[in-house]
Amino acid sequence: MQCHRFGDDALHAHALPPTALSLVTAEVARGAWAPAPGASPVPAVLRVARSLGGAVPADAEMACATCHREHAGRHAGLAAMADTRCQTCHSRQFESLADGHPPLSNYPYERRTRIIFDHASHIGKHFGKVQAGEAPTACIDCHSLGAGGARMIVKPYATVCATCHADDVAGEGLAGPKGIAVFEVPGIDVETLAESGRDVGRWPAYAEARLNPFMRFLLAADAGTRDAMDRVAAVDLLDLTDAEPEVLDAAETVAWAVKDLIAEVAERGHVVIADRVADSVGVTPSEDVLAGLLGHLPLAALREGREAWFPDLADEIARHRAGLPMAPETREADSGTQPEIAVEDGDLPEGGELLDGGALLGSDDPAEAAGTENDESDDLLGGGNLLGSDESLAEDSSGGGEPSVGGGDLLGGDLLGGDLLDEPVTEAPEATDEDAAIAEAAGPPVDPEPWTSAGGWYVEHFALRYRPAGHDDRFIRTWLSLQSMALGAPGETAAAAVFEELAAPKGPGACMLCHSIDARQDEVGRTRLLVNWDASPPLDTSHHFTRYAHKPHFSLLDERGCLTCHKLDYGASYADSFDDRDPTVFVSNFEPMEKAVCAACHTGAKAGDRCTDCHGYHVGDFPPALAEAPLTLDRNAQGDR
């Protein structure tokens, strides 16, 4: 037992816990594996053995020597056991594989595949539509024999999938942006907030996005912001006209939290992300995890976004923290319009009054406004009516003097008390051939999205986006892992939202087009979502009741190759069975193996039909007993190891 590890129940039958073994026994007792009608009676030797020894109780322990007999000779196998030794304890006993052995049921499909690959649709539809040489022509084009000759493994993505799916991974088929909006300015009705006395300063007028999951996750590190986001979760932040005061307060909190996040990351860098992730998931991320979350985020890209969205951000945050009002220019929205300026009574400069002490054109009397009676104290700008006098118009029409309007001036000789045109008006110079040549040589402005076709960060409108770097993108994989890390932590809900955003079948990178998701319950009943990145577990230390080696059977295949035994089920709802994320409930792409296929060769006179040819005794997940030698950087001690 010091060399062979079989778990905590090594001495119980099949190394199973007594409760699990009892469930299996009860299933067999219900007749699930009853011998086929007409099968031979139980051999006499088994009837005698059973009457003498009987079945071993589920909770009983057996010594290793019960089955492993020593000192039987140099060439005797300690693991070899006679069929009678196996069947003595079994409730259902039979003569042989061909005579009495129960059907194979759904063998060998114990669970759904980890990679979502519909063999029926690919072979029957997709492979026939591509050019010659692009589609596989045999199973071995995609599968190869694993170590030891037992399992068939799937070849790498670049070898068998990239030819058809590289564009899907790159997002070429996406209708929207190919990059993931990570740092993004959400749309907020800042006008309503300002009218209610809640000033959030400058805010891009055309920002209309929702508060995306990445922003929610990073903002969830603060309890107050987390509560505010919960209060506005079902609110349209772009229209707060009918919002209650508590909702307006929450919206203001979220707005300033967004500004604080962008300002902090732009100034303090990666440590801000590390701290916020730690507060959201309750665990400080390792350097490897943090590197994956950041995706080599460059300072220049983040500051470019900050300057475009909030050019006065540092001043605004300083004023906000000091309890001071925003500077007038920071209230201007980035919409191309001028800010509104309130005009008080009597504030119009250089003489004249707009609302008090005079009409729009100098007097409340329409006649006076038309210029029949003018008084310098009542006119619009002092010293004349809007267009001077009627005589001035006549003078101009006679052709004498300088061309003028109203006696040689506009609005009484000046515009707001100064010369209208101090310098002569000059027209913009016409573009020359040289200018056109320079413009053509410079080319059009760079579009950042196609520029980052190999992956990376870029600013687009009101978002800093990350474009996946091809297949197996580290950024996407790391963010998907946060859902399991955040279980029970403050950022659990936000991390789950990030997961669903990235796990959409047509999401960035198109990961879930092929990779399935397993929903598993942890020890306290919380759902942990795990993405199956590999077609098979990278280190499979599991032992099963049934085992099969492919290599010895290759010589039996006909021109159909693997389809000689694995028959496609074209009517199966294979793809639909992945929707519930339960790996144990599935529909196979293939028809179950028939016992007759195996029994044709596996008889006592041919290939053999001993129980141990196909079945193992110890079941469970057993890691190697001896740990690997530790790696060292001391070459003198262990050479190049």
| pLDDT (0 to 100) of residue 621 | 85
Q: Is residue 32 domain-resident?
A: yes
Q: Helix 474-485 to helix 287-294 angle, to the nearest 10 degrees?
A: 120
Query: Phi and psi (nearest 5°) for 152?
Result: -100, 130
Q: Mind listing the pLDDT tens digit for each residue in 160-172?
A: 899 888 888 888 8
Residues 567 and 485 in one domain: no
Residues forming a β-bridge with 184: 463
Report the alpha-carbon distance of residue 96 to residue 99 in Å, rounded.
Answer: 5
| pLDDT (0 to 100) of residue 330 | 55
What long-range pairs does 294-300 form, CB within 8 A, spacing at least 24?
Answer: 294/270, 294/475, 295/457, 295/466, 295/474, 295/475, 296/456, 296/457, 297/270, 297/273, 297/457, 298/457, 299/266, 299/269
**314 HSE (CA, 13 A, CB side):** 5
Residues 170 and 142 in one domain: no
| pLDDT (0 to 100) of residue 235 | 94
> Is residue 519 within a helix (H) or strand (E), and if so which, with residue range?
strand 517-521
Q: Tell whether omega for the bond before 156 is within 30 degrees of 0, i.e. cis.
A: no
Last residue of a domain, one of 29, 57, 87: 87
Residues 528 and 582 in one domain: yes
Among residues 543, 536, 519, 532, the alpha carbon closest in space to that of 143 is found at 536
Q: Mind listing the pLDDT tens digit for each residue in 219-270?
A: 999 999 999 999 999 999 999 999 999 999 999 999 999 999 999 999 999 9
Q: How many domains does the chain have?
A: 3
Domain around 580: 107-153+514-593
Report the alpha-carbon distance of residue 163 to residue 585 in Å, rounded.
Answer: 31
Mean pLDDT of all residues belonging to the chain:
80
**SS3 of residue 500 by DSSP:** helix
Q: Is residue 101 domain-resident?
A: no
| pLDDT (0 to 100) of residue 90 | 81
Residues 297 and 227 in one domain: yes
Residues 135 and 183 in one domain: no
Q: Is residue 460 domain-resident?
A: yes
| pLDDT (0 to 100) of residue 388 | 44
Residues 273 and 222 in one domain: yes
Q: Is residue 589 domain-resident?
A: yes
Query: Phi and psi (nearest 5°) for 508?
Result: -60, 130
Total H helices, total E strands in the chain = 23, 9
Report the alpha-carbon distance of residue 242 to residue 245 in Å, rounded.
Answer: 9
Q: Is residue 185 domain-resident?
A: yes
How is residue 489 annotated by DSSP?
A: S
Query: Phi and psi (nearest 5°) for 87?
Result: -80, -10
Residues 467 and 574 in one domain: no
| pLDDT (0 to 100) of residue 310 | 95
Residues 80 and 117 in one domain: no
**Cβ-count burial 367-386 (b if 16+ within 10 Å, e if not):** ebbebeebeeebbbbbbbbb
Residues 145 and 225 in one domain: no
Low-confidence ranges of the chain (pLDDT < 70): 31-39, 49-55, 329-428, 538-539, 625-641
Note if the pTM is more than 0.85.
no
| pLDDT (0 to 100) of residue 489 | 92
Q: Is residue 7 domain-resident?
A: no
Residues 307 and 202 in one domain: yes
Report the alpha-carbon distance of residue 246 to residue 233 in Å, rounded.
Answer: 13
Among residues 532, 269, 251, the alpha carbon closest in space to that of 243 is found at 251
| pLDDT (0 to 100) of residue 424 | 54
**Helix, strand, coil percent values for the chain (each to nearest 5):** 35, 5, 55
Type of residue numbered 287? E
| pLDDT (0 to 100) of residue 454 | 87
**Cβ-count burial 111-147 (b if 16+ within 10 Å, e if not):** ebbbbbbbbbebbeeeeeeeeeeebeeebeebbeeee
Residues 172 and 306 in one domain: yes
Q: Is residue 195 domain-resident?
A: yes
